[in-house]
Structures are given as C-alpha cells and as structure tokens.
A and B are shown apart, each in its own frame.
Chain A
Amino acid sequence: MSFLYFLINGISLGSIYAIIALGYTMVYGISKMLNFAHGDVIMVGAYICFFSLTRFNLPPLVAVAAAMLVCMVLGMTIEKLAYKPLRQATSLAVLITAIGVSYLLQNLALLLFSPNVKVFPSIVGNGKISMGDIVVSHVTIVTIIVCIVIMVGMTLFTGRTKIGKAMRACSEDKAAAQLMGINVDATISVTFIIGSGLAAIAGVLLCSTYPTLVPTTGSMPGIKAFTAAVFGGIGSIPGAFLGGLLLGIIEIFAKAYISTQISDAIVFAVLIIVLLVKPTGLLGKKTREKV
C-alpha cells in the first residue's frame, strides 16, 4: 500500500468535505452567519436517498434528484422560518438558532427514521478498478469527479450568471446591492437552496463511501467541513475547495504515517497553526472591520 493509495483516499474524503464546506462558505459569504444545521441537511439528504433506493426502488439518479429536491425545499424552509426573522438580530442569536435547528433536525430524524443504523447502498455499485498494486473503488472516483464538476460549476455560476453576480454583490454590501435593484431576500434564499442541494449530494457521496447512516451521520463531517471552510478562508469558494481537500489529505496522511490514535488532534493542530499565521484562512480576503 503506497503513498498514492492514501493520496487518492485523502482526495476522496477531502472532496466530500469540500462539497459540504461549499455550503457553509456560500451561506457565510452572503449572510455572515454560520449555518450549523448544514451538517444535518446532509443527513436528511442521505436518508431521502436511502429510502428512495430501498423502499421505492428508484434508479440511483432519480433518488439523488429526489434527495436534492427535498433538501432544497428544507433549506428554503429553514431559511424562511428560522433565519429570516432574525436578519436584523445579533449574529450570536442567529448562531444559537442554527444550533437549535441542527438539534431539531437530528431529533426529528431520530423520531421519523428510528435510531437504528441503516447500511447505505452505494449509488454507483461496489465496483473497483486495479491500478498496479492499488485498488480504487468506483465511489472514490465518482466522488472526486463530482467534486471537481461542482467546483467548476459553482465558480462559473457565481462569475457568469446574473443570480451568481447578485450573490456576490449581496456578499460585498447588502445595502448597496439593494439600491442597485437586487432582491436581497430572494438572493439569500437562492443561496440556501443551492447550498442545501449540494448538501444532499455530499450526503449521498458520504454514505456511499462510508455506508452507515444514523441521525447523527452529518454532524462530525459537518464540523470537519466547517473547519475546512475556515481553513481555506470562509466566504471563498476556491478556499472551500482547497480547505476541504487539504483537510481530507492531512487526515488520511496523519493516520497513515503518524498515528491512528491522534489523527484528529493533528488535523486540528494544523488548523490552529494556519490560523495563527494567516487568520483569514488560506484564501480568505482581508477585510478591515470598521469601528
């Protein structure tokens, strides 16, 4: 087992973190809030896909689409009911609300889906290909490809389309954007919808790679992806991509080459060091807070 094998696994894990981190970073960028319920939207997406596949025997792509649709509606609802009324409130109030939504989703899942572990069927089957002495599963490859497609897509979307430009404008300055005729509320809604749709994809990929599904499945990857978003520079899309990938690779390498006992400690130590040297994260923009 070689360096390359660990690298591929690290990139695959990092790709999942990156897709989740994207949701955090976009929402933070536009509304300056940390949506801690994001990790639980992942879990909901995975459950919807699981039931579509096993109970209704839908084809994988349809199941993923169903999961995305449900998550998008869920994301929009959460934003409308929980966050929008707090738009003028302190950021601390919004943060606490987000944690509340996170617990609400987890406990609803406990109630609706039962706490029993479900084994997620891989959406691309259990096939694998051998390259020399290393074996790579289809899921790993699909995960990496999907991540790249999403990153390129999101970069083009925010750079080229009208809504994307509106999103960037809102994240720069909401009041000015409103004066220029941009519907800020609608733009924030769209951001949540896109973020939640991506969360569904991340959930499906996560559970296809690591096939156990419980109501708390999303929380730890959610926290790690949040770390990745901060690592890469929160608010920045390429930052989320870079942060996610690096976090995944560091995690796997720490396990493989240093110790399986303290791998998480190493991951977070790296984060602390990076933030000490560069407080805005790797690709974060330096903004001066006006006093």
Chain B
Amino acid sequence: MKKVFAIILAAAMVFALGASAFADGAFKIGGTGPLTGGAAIYGNAAANGAAIAVEEINALGGIQFELKYEDDTHDAEKAINAYNTLKDWGMQISLGSVTSTPCVATASETYDDRIFAITPSASAVAVTEDKDNMFQMCFADPNQGSASAQYIMDKGLASKVAVIWKNDDVYSKGIYETFKAKAAELGLELVSDTTFADGNDTDFSVQVADAQANGAELIFLPMYYTPASLILAQADKIGYTPKFFGVDGMDGILTLEGFDTALAEGVMLLTPFNADATDEKTVSFVTKYQEKYGEIPNQFAADGYDCVYAYCQALTNAGCTPDMSAEEICDAMIEQFTTMTFNGITGDNMTWGTDGAVTKGPKGMVISNGAYVGMD
C-alpha cells in the first residue's frame, strides 16, 4: 500500500514539475477588463480576441504565452484589486485595462512596478500620460475627437453640429475637448453643447431638443453605446432625424438585446477595424471568433488580438525569454515599441510615439441594415 502511495506521489511530483516547467516556458500576460456589468461587451470582446491570438501563437510552437484576464467591472478600485491578483500570479507583461477609467488606475500601478503594458482599448490620454511604459493599441481620445471633426468636414456631412457628452467620464470629455477645438479650427459650427452624468443618464429630452432647436444637422456622440441608444430613441420619439456620428464606444450598439436596429440606421462611427474587410488576416480572425464565441468580433476583440501579436513581434525582436524579470522585459519592450512597425488587423504600418500613442489610419463606418459597412 505504501509503495503504491509512493508511486502515485512520485508521479504527481513529476507531473507537477512538468506543469511548472511548461509555465516557466511561457510569458505571463495579464489584463483587467469589465467581464461583467454594463461594459461587459468590451471586456469580454478584448479578452476573447487576445485569447484567440494566444492560441494561434502557442500552436506555432515558438514563443509561448499564458493569458489571464481578471474582472474589474469598469471600476477603478476593482481594477487595482484585479491587478494585484495578476501580480501575485506572476504577470510579466500587461494588457492594462480595457476601459479608460480603470486603466488610468492600473497604469500608474504598472508604471510603479515597472511592468510594461499596452491596452487594447483604453483611449484616454491620462492612461499614457507621463508613463514611459504604457502604450495604446487604439487611438487616443484626442485623435478620435479631431479625426471625427476632420472626417465630418472632409466628407461634407454637416456644417452645423451638436455634441452631447458625459461630463463625469474621462473618455467622453477627452474626445469632446479635441472635437470642439478641431471643429473651431475647421470652421465647423458647434450649435449645441450639452452634457449628462452618471445617475442622470436616462432622460435626454432636453439635450436632443436643444440640438433640434439650434438646427443641428449632425449630433456627435462621444460616449458608450448604452446612453447613445437612449439618445437615438429620444430623437426618434420627437421625430427628429439628424445624422449621428459616434466613436469607438458606439461599437456594440447592435448587440444590445431588444434594440431596434432601425434606430441606428445611418449612424456613423470612426473605428479602426472592419469585420467585413476581405484581407486574409481579418477573415481568418473573424471566422475563428465566430466559431468560438458565436458572434461577429467588434473592434475591441480586434484590438485585444493585435496587442498579443504586437507583443509576439516585439518579444521576438528583442530576444526576450520567459525567465526574464518583468523589469528587464519592460525596458526591452519600451525600446521595441517606440521603434518597430506593426501590421495588424486594426491597421497597417502602426507605429508608436514615446508618449505611447499609436499612429494608424481610422476607417469610417456606417450602420446599414443592422450591420457595419465601410464608408470609404
């Protein structure tokens, strides 16, 4: 009996050794995101996209990754807890957080701990500000705001615009400010400028009426899709039909349960990813994502996917090995990301500045018959 027990124990030890040897051979990537709660669509999409990339890269047999996502419910405090869990787990490189407010919190932690991070989608400037080891895969908010104004002007979509923004949200405010500045510069007339905040985000009768009364031809909505859906419904309620122009937070509006997609017909948004694109990489990603998760990936999924591939490229170039400490990897990554050019599914020839912001070309999309269609 003792002998059998000893053999089992020995076998278990060998197995454990094998398992840990495998873990030692993989880079530990961690990220936080809203996997539950109102912003869960974003968090799950980014996590799923990253998981597909990890699976693909691991299957190639070269660099190995181990990915772990922790839930932060789009809350800064919970994000710190989630981050600490990841640190205890031994995270070497980070995917930051999916949404801006939590990411500002985790970014200062990764900065202090010297862990390199690239966020798929937290677009606020405050995320990367004054942090040499924090990068973004998505556009920074200022770029979204000014790019939107530029796009509206270039395409001649409207001359009088209204903007409704969320004044307690760093994401919304950041885009609003650069949009406003760029609009003034281009001579785009901002005729209505109204706000809302948490706890006051259901009644939009005043904001929409203000836009209508001032003759706005287009309403710019720098916000997430939940309040945006209410604004679309409110405009419909009073029979007001301006053009609507959103940013990446609008992505996901079509997946709202029970949402009448007719309300979103003609809504435009700037997004770097188009699931309808026909290039090989996008098609392969979209097919895999659909097989695995049963839905069409949004921009967040694509950003998550690209982050892991960017890491793969940077780690290979720098010759990093999984036994290196987070700090050593961090220095190598800062050097790589500021010098390399990356081709992903959210853009070709992406480069990063020392401020951590990405440079890539945005694509205009319009919602038509309940699906996103490229505008260019």
Residues on A facing B (Cβ under 8 Å): 1, 5-6, 9, 13, 50, 54, 110, 115-121, 126, 128, 130, 135, 137, 139, 210-212, 214, 220-221, 251-252, 255-256, 260-261, 263-264
Contact = CB atoms under 8 A, between A and B. Distances in A.
Interface in B198-216: 199-200, 202-203, 205-207, 209-210, 212-213
Contacts of B206: 6, 9, 252, 255-256, 260
Contact of A1 (B199, B209, B230, B258): B209
Given A210-B202, A212-B226, A260-B194, A119 B213 contact: no
Given A128-B239, A260-B194, A1 B210 contact: yes
- 5 nearest CB pairs, A to B: A210-B202, A119-B258, A1-B209, A255-B206, A119-B259
Given A137-B237, A252-B203, A255-B203, 10 more contacts: A6-B205, A9-B206, A126-B236, A135-B238, A211-B229, A211-B230, A212-B202, A251-B203, A255-B194, A256-B206
A126 B213 CA distance: 22
Nearest to A256: B206
A210 B203 contact: yes
Interface string B244-267: 000000000000111110000000
A95 B260 CA distance: 40
A1 to B, nearest CB: 4
Given A126-B237, A135-B237, A264 B40 contact: no
B40 A9 contact: no
A94 to B, nearest CB: 25
A121 B259 CA distance: 8
Contact of A5 (B196, B209, B230): B209
A115 B37 contact: yes
User: Interface residues of B toward A: which range?
Assistant: 20 to 34
Contact of A13 (B41, B203, B226): B203
Given A117-B226, A135-B239, A211 B203 contact: no
A106 to B, nearest CB: 12
Interface in B253-285: 256-260
B233 interface: yes
Contacts of B239: 128, 130, 135
Nearest to B252: A117
B167 interface: yes
A221 B256 CA distance: 22
B257 A212 contact: no
14 contacts: A9-B205, A9-B206, A115-B36, A115-B40, A116-B41, A117-B226, A118-B258, A119-B259, A128-B238, A128-B239, A135-B238, A211-B233, A256-B206, A260-B207
Contacts, number: 91
B324 interface: no
A136 to B, nearest CB: 8
Contacts of B184: none
B318 to A, nearest CB: 39
Contact of A116 (B40, B195, B205): B40
Contacts of B237: 126, 128, 135, 137, 139
Among A1, A13, A139, chain B packs the most CB atoms within 10 A around the CB of: A1
Nearest to B260: A119
Nearest to B197: A264
Interface in B29-60: 36-38, 40-41
Contacts of A252: 203, 205-206
A128 B197 CA distance: 27
Given A116-B40, A212-B230, A261 B167 contact: yes
B120 to A, nearest CB: 20
Among A6, A120, A128, A261, chain B packs the most CB atoms within 10 A around the CB of: A261
Nearest to B35: A115
B230 A210 contact: yes
B238 to A, nearest CB: 4
Contacts of B213: 1
A137 B209 CA distance: 14
Contact of B38 (A9, A115, A119, A264): A115
Contacts of A5: 205, 209
B39 to A, nearest CB: 9
B44 to A, nearest CB: 10
A117 B37 CA distance: 9
B199 A220 contact: yes
